[in-house]
Structure 1
Amino acid sequence: MGIIVSLLVLSFLIFFHELGHFLAARFFGVKVERFSIGFGPIIAKKYFKGTEWAISAIPLGGYVKMKGQDDLDPTKRSSDPNSYNSKKPWQRIVILFAGPFANFFLAFLLYYIISIMGSNTLAPVVGEVMKNSPAQKAGLMPKDKIVKINNTPITKWEDISKAISKYQGALRVEIIRNNQIKIVIIEPKILEVKNIFGEKVKRKMIGISPSGDVIKVYYSPIEAIKVAYDKTVAASLMIIKGIEKMIEGVVPLKEVGGVISIMDITAKASQVGIAALFSLTALISVNLGVLNLLPIPALDGGHIVFNLYELITKKVPSEDIIYKLTLLGWMILLMLMGLGIYNDINRIFGVSNG
């Protein structure tokens, strides 16, 4: 069942991405010759309003084939009024950006739904108090519930770190202990910790860890807009930062995952619950949006760069250069896909990459 859910999620994300391209293309009067979910041989198709809607044999992607655009042969052009090539560079950029934008928008919608339906998160209840930490010196104890730091209300555990970094100097921490409200004054310390990329960073901390208690947080329809927007932006920045750290060599290449990892994690999330599945789907959607905007020929970002060049210089890039760069782009993509699958297989069979 989990594998079926994974395939449905991937197909849905691909469909939504390509739908963005399709709607933008039709808005500017570009003929869409084929809308395919999957690559390779077509196993089912139907013509509707001038477009061939198809399902292809390899469900690991999808594409919209517009008149005058061919990723396999980027030198093919058409000067017909309803072709992609006949449109102005800025219009082509909008068409190209519409796919990734659809992924960001889908992530926003999913985060919005999660915010309204409620999602599990860690309660602001102290679990462990580090020895000789500012929290211990101030008298904070396990099972204390933090409800306010200075003027900031605390409703979930992640609010605590945000409040600590927000204020300078000593903190006035309001807690509930044995059903009684108490006030403690804590002077945070700058401590060296590891971030999600394994780098040592300095962070202002008070020396506590969560108890593990879980609460469900709900937001009103209006509040959920900001929450969904913030989560979409945060997910995008995290993925961009991850790519940057991989280029720098901070994140080893063995951490690159492929479609097998995505399907495995999605299958597990579907067993946890609908909120976990929606949250993971939103993260994958953001990931697709960001990756497709990378300036790699054969991806949307690469095509956007070509069109920006034409927009700025008023010159069409050399067909020979476009062709060679596109081939290079496909080689890079195939190498990354191969690396992801190789790492996935190693993880499945417990093989170490060193």
Structure 2
Amino acid sequence: MGTITFLLVLSFLVFFHELGHFLAARFFGVKVHVFSIGFGKRIFSKEWKGTTWQFALIPLGGYVKMKGQDDTKPGLQEEGNDSYNNKTPWQRIVILFAGPFANFLLAAILYFVIALGGANSLSPTIGKVQENSPAMRAGIKEGDIIVRINNIEIKTWDQIGKTIISSQGALKFFIERDGQIIAKTINPHISDAQNIFRETIKKRMIGISPAPKLVTIYHDPISAISYAYDKTIESSKMIFQGVQKLIQGIVPTSEVGGVITIGKVISDASESSIIALLAITALISVNLGVLNLLPIPALDGGHIMFNLYEIIAKRKPSDQVFMYLTIAGWVILASLMLLGIYNDINRLLG
């Protein structure tokens, strides 16, 4: 069942990505010969409105084949106003960007649905209080629930950290303890901490950690829009930073996961709850959007760079340069896929 869920989720994400390219291409009048979910041998197809819609044997991606575009034939020229190569560079950039944008849009829609259905977050319940910390000196105890900081209502644990970091000076904490509300004034101190990439950073802290307790927050449609926007931006930034830290060597290559890891994460989420499955689907959709925007030839981001070069230089890159860079892009992508599979197998073997 987990494998089926994985294939359905992946196919859905690929379809949405390619649909973005397809709709933008058709908007500019570009003919689309093929809309494919998967690569390799065709296992099912149907002709509709001049496009062959198909499922292929290898379900690890997809593509739209437009008139006048072929990475294996960079010098391809197909005449007519319905040809991709006859569109202006800006129009081609819009067509290329539409795929990743569709992934960001899908993630926002999924986060919106999650917000309406109930988003799970860590409860603002205190688990541990560090020795000699500002919280301990103020009399904070394990099991206390933080309900307000100054005039900011607190519903989740994340809000506590964000409020402390974005503030200055002493803060007034309102704590629920044994059914009563108690006010405590705490002056956070600057201390060493680790971010999600295990880097040591300086951070305003009061010396508390969360209890392993979840709270479900239900949003109205207006606040759900804000939640969806914030989660999509937050996820995008996290993935962009992750790629940057990987290139810098801060994140080890052993952290790179492949299709096996993705499949396991999706399978585990599907067994947990529909909300968990929607959340991981949204995160993977953002991941696809971000990765496809990387300036690697053979990806949308690489093709966008080619078109930006054409705008700046007033000419297209030579066919030879285009082909060499595209092959280099394929080598990079293949290497990353093999690295992910290698890491997956290592994890399975312990």
Q: TM-score, normalised by structure 1?
A: 0.97
Q: What is the CA–CA distance in structure 1 between the aligned matches of 2:75 and 2:275, rounded to whole Å?
A: 45
Within 1, Cα distance between the matches of 2:259 and 2:71?
Answer: 22
CA offset digits 1:173-195 (Å, max 9, x no partner):
11111111111111111111111
Which residue number in structure 2 is paired with residue 345 of structure 1?
345
Structure 2 counterpart SS, 1:55: strand
Partner of 2:145: 145
Q: Secondary structure at the match of 1:40?
A: strand
Whether 1:39 and 2:76 are equivalent positions in the alignment is no
Corresponding residue of 1:257: 257
Which one-letter code corresponds to 1:51 in the other structure?
A: T
Q: Tell me the residue number matched to 1:132.
A: 132
Are the counterparts in 1 of residues 71 and 323 from structure 2 also a CA contact under 8 Å? Answer: no
Q: State the Cα distance separating 1:127 from its structure 2 match.
A: 1.4
AA aligned opposite 2:207: G
Residue 202 of structure 1 aligns with an amino acid whose one-letter code is: K
Specify the code of the residue in structure 2 equivalent to 1:297.
Answer: P
Q: Secondary structure of 1:296's partner?
A: coil
**Residue 74 of structure 1, CA deviation:** 2.5
- Secondary structure, in 3 states, of the residue corresponding to 2:20? helix
Alignment partners' CA distance in 2, 1:11 and 1:117? 24
Question: Does structure 2 retain, via aligned residues, the 8 Å contact 1:30–1:82?
Answer: yes
In structure 1, the residue matched to 2:284 is: 284
Give distance in 1, aligned partners of 2:76 and 2:202: 54
Aligned to 1:23, the other structure's residue is in SS state: helix
Q: Name 1:84's counterpart in structure 2.
A: 84
Between 1:313-322 and 1:231-240, the stretch displaced more is 313-322
Q: 1:200: which partner in 2?
A: 200
Does structure 1 conserve the Cα–Cα contact (< 8 Å) formed by 2:172 and 2:184?
Answer: yes
Report the 3-state secondary structure (helix = DSSP H, G, I; strand = E; otherwise coil) of the residue aligned with 1:345.
helix
Residue deviations 1:299-340 (CA, integer Å, cap 9, x gap): 000100111111222212211111111111111111111111
Q: Which runs of 5+ in 2 are unaligned?
A: none
SS in 2 for 1:323: helix
Report sequence identity in percent.
59
- Three-state SS of the structure 2 residue aligned to 1:302 is helix
Cα separation, 1, equivalents of 2:339 and 2:143: 46
Closer, same or farther: CA 95–295 of 1 in aligned 2, 3 Å: same
Q: How does 1:156-305 map to 2 (within 5 A)?
A: 156-305=156-305
Aligned equivalent of 1:67: 67
SS at match of 1:260: helix
Aligned residue number for residue 50 of structure 1: 50
CA distance in 2, matches of 1:239, 1:146: 30
**Cα RMSD for the two superposed structures:** 0.9
In the alignment, the residues of structure 2 paired with residue 42 and residue 74 of structure 1 have an alpha-carbon distance, to the nearest angstrom, of 24
Q: Unaligned 5+ residue runs, structure 1? A: none
Which segment is superposed worse, 103-112 or 153-162?
153-162
CA distance in 1: counterparts of 2:316 and 2:212, whole angstroms = 59
C-alpha offsets along residues 227-252 of structure 1, whole Å, 9 cap, x if unaligned?
A: 10010000000000000000100011
CA contact (8 A) 2:43 2:55 kept: yes
Which residue identity lines up with residue 266 of structure 2 in the other structure?
A: T
Matches of 1:211 and 1:37, distance apart in 2: 44
Q: Distance in 1 between matches of 2:240 and 2:158?
A: 22
C-alpha distance in structure 2 between counterparts of 1:278 and 1:15, whole Å:
16
| C-alpha contact 1:75 1:323 (8 A) present in aligned 2 | no
How many residue pairs get matched? 350
Q: Does structure 2 retain, via aligned residues, the 8 Å contact 1:75–1:322?
A: no
Matched residue type, 1:277: L
1:117-165 residue CA offsets vs partner (Å, 9 max, x unmatched): 1022111111111111110000001111111111111111111101111
1:125 and 1:143 in contact (8 A); partners too: yes
Contact 2:171 2:187 in 1 (8 A): yes
Q: Distance in 2 between matches of 1:141 and 1:312?
A: 62
